Amino acid sequence: MAIPSIAQVRKALIARPGKPFDLSARDTADRSLFPDKAEAETSLRKDAAVINELKDMLYAEGKRGLIVVLQGMDTSGKSGTIKAVFSETTPLGMEVKAFKVPSSEELARDYLWRVHNAVPRRGHVGIFDRSHYEDVLVVRVRGFAPLEAVEQRYAQINAFEKHLCENGYTVVKFMLNIGHAEQGVRLKERLMEPHKLWKFNPGDLDDREHWPDFMNAYQIAVERCSTRHAPWYVIPADSRSRRNAMIARIVRGALEDMDLAWKDPGLDPGSYTI
Amino acid sequence: MAIPSIAQVRKALIARPGKPFDLSARDTADRSLFPDKAEAETSLRKDAAVINELKDMLYAEGKRGLIVVLQGMDTSGKSGTIKAVFSETTPLGMEVKAFKVPSSEELARDYLWRVHNAVPRRGHVGIFDRSHYEDVLVVRVRGFAPLEAVEQRYAQINAFEKHLCENGYTVVKFMLNIGHAEQGVRLKERLMEPHKLWKFNPGDLDDREHWPDFMNAYQIAVERCSTRHAPWYVIPADSRSRRNAMIARIVRGALEDMDLAWKDPGLDPGSYTI
């Protein structure tokens, strides 16, 4: 087997903009892109190195930015993805923002306020560990806002992301699509292993009980908010190694599409005496 | 040769709090701690792996923070240090803040305002690429503030750093001490290599012409602001590999001194049914 091309990975995983989307048809255990685990690991390693190099060019250029949105149920591997895909990447010029329960300062503004505030500097890569999509996911499931307000948000989010794209940002969004059974396995792991126990939050079990509601909310969000300027990719996430490899391919593709090159500051090197 | 212990590295490089300090006596090319380059690289690799593990524990604990201050003349290797020392570290929980020329918003406040604002969340590691020390270095050399105001700042900075330490932050400060000749070599490299040219700033040559004034400002800042709660380490920086190895030893030491352990959330794993 060869490593699948970036185009193949995108085509297999994208939620096609403007088309009907069926989350239930996406197999969380699908390994068809990377049947072989070792090959997934090789692909990840190669892509992580290229991502590092392209990120340095983006930093040097300082004119555009990349925003990577990671969404998924608990244990779907948001942190693990960050570690793996950016394993070769220096923290200089990286901005990881973990969106937690909104603070009172944040709740005192509209829900996109804190997100806009977290947009990375030009030249940087911003990773959103959760994002404004919480405001149409958990908020919808739990009824934290009236349904009519939630219903307005999809178009608001599309407008916001379009604004970012028109102003020099590339936005790429990943749903880490883990299966209910695999989440059960991982929650049990957290309870069993001392270095994972700190991540266990009894509240996660409440979300687990609302699984069908969350899947419905994801279905709606992905279908309505996968756009040409900011597509959603739905990543089979039951296998960590394949999940990492697939996301790395797509992140690399997003950076390659920027046509980055080492910035030419327009200096005449010969004119300086040191 | 064995890898020098953390205690040995600290002792050799610290500016002893409350004691006279003589910057001119510090050899920028000193290799005595790591005579052998390969050994420096080995030491760095080992320390980078431990730093990654300890940082994850700090993140899990979420109660304390580490602030690493990097100061040095242009080309002294602030970016390179970040890349090397945190090469194994996931960007999750890392906050790199590059302090640039203050914005009008920043200039409208006292000089520590933007620094306080950049303090990392508890559980995170904050790296300051330049820092509030610019306000007693370039500001002193260029006369951007009256000398009387600058003279007040050393005690203000000590009080600010003491405040951080008393509130759960470990602060460790590095002067990357590069020689005038080595800087010349590196500035020429920037002019010659396409992937380095973007870093070349003709303004750096102005600073280079004020070299003795900058060294005097560093001498004063390090002597007055190396405290028991926030010591300065003066790192011979003419050799990149040794610089990285020495800093990694000290950063590892700072994390080890926190006595970190995997957080025990106080849960009874047996009480949950998944």
Q: Which residues of B216-244 are buried (b: 16+ CB within 10 A; e: fewer)?
A: bbbbbbbbbbbbeebbbbbbbbbbebbbb
Position B16 pLDDT exceeds 70: yes
- Could you report the predicted ipTM of this complex, rounded to two decimals? 0.83
Q: List the single residue in A184, A199, A263 with the smallest CB-CB distance to B198.
A: A263
Minimum distance, in Å, between the CA of residue A85 and any CA atom of chain B? 9
Tell me whether residues B200 and A267 touch, CB distance under 8 A: yes
Report in angstroms the alpha-carbon separations of A167 from A157, A244, B222, B239: 15, 29, 43, 41
Q: List the single residue in B91, B194, B208 with the smallest CB-CB distance to A127.
A: B91
Position B57 pLDDT exceeds 90: yes
Q: Dump strand ranges (E) for chain A.
A: 65-72, 94-98, 125-129, 169-177, 232-236
Minimum distance, in Å, between the CA of residue B270 and any CA atom of chain A? 8
Q: What is the pLDDT of residue B265?
A: 77
Q: Could you read off the pLDDT tens digit of each residue along chain A, which spans 274 residues?
A: 689 999 999 999 999 999 999 999 999 999 999 999 999 999 999 999 999 999 999 999 999 999 999 999 999 999 999 999 999 898 999 999 999 999 999 999 999 999 999 999 999 999 999 999 999 999 999 999 999 999 999 999 999 999 999 999 999 999 999 999 999 999 999 988 888 888 888 888 889 999 999 999 999 999 999 999 999 999 999 999 999 999 999 999 999 999 998 877 778 878 888 8
Cβ-Cβ contacts under 8 Å, A263 against chain B: 197-198
Burial of B49 (0-12, 13-18, 19+ CB in 10 A): middle
Chain A residues with CB under 8 Å of a chain B CB are: 56, 60-61, 79, 82-83, 86-87, 89-94, 96, 98, 127, 129, 184, 187-188, 191-192, 194-195, 197-200, 202, 205, 208, 262-265, 267, 269, 272, 274
Tell me whether residues A92 and B197 touch, CB distance under 8 A: no
Q: Token digits for A42?
A: 């090789």
Q: Per DSSP, what are the bridge partners of residue A71?
A: A175
Q: What is the pLDDT of residue A97?
A: 96
**Comparing C-alpha atoms, which of B100, B14, B87, B11 is closest to residue B49?**
B87
Minimum distance, in Å, between the CA of residue A10 and any CA atom of chain B? 25
Cβ-Cβ contacts under 8 Å, B195 against chain A: 56, 60, 262
Distance in angstroms (rounded) separating the CA atoms of residues B47 and B4 = 12
Average pLDDT, chain B: 95
Residue type, B155: A
Tell me whether residues B265 and A129 touch, CB distance under 8 A: no
Distance in angstroms (rounded) separating the CA atoms of residues B249 and B252 = 5
Q: What is the pLDDT of residue A197?
A: 86
> For residue B73, what are the contacts with CB-CB under 8 A and spacing of at least 6?
B176, B178, B183, B207, B208, B211, B214
Distance in angstroms (rounded) separating the CA atoms of residues B157 and B143 = 19
Minimum distance, in Å, between the CA of residue B226 and any CA atom of chain A? 26
Q: List the single residue in B82, B188, B202 with the smallest CB-CB distance to A92.
A: B82
Q: Token digits for A110?
A: 């509209």
What is the chain A residue with the closest CA to B190? A269
Burial of B127 (0-12, 13-18, 19+ CB in 10 A): buried
Between chain A and chain B, how many beta carbons pairs sit less than 8 Å apart? 106
Lowest mean pLDDT among A65-74, A77-86, B54-63, B255-264: B255-264
Distance in angstroms (rounded) separating the CA atoms of residues A249 and B198 = 28
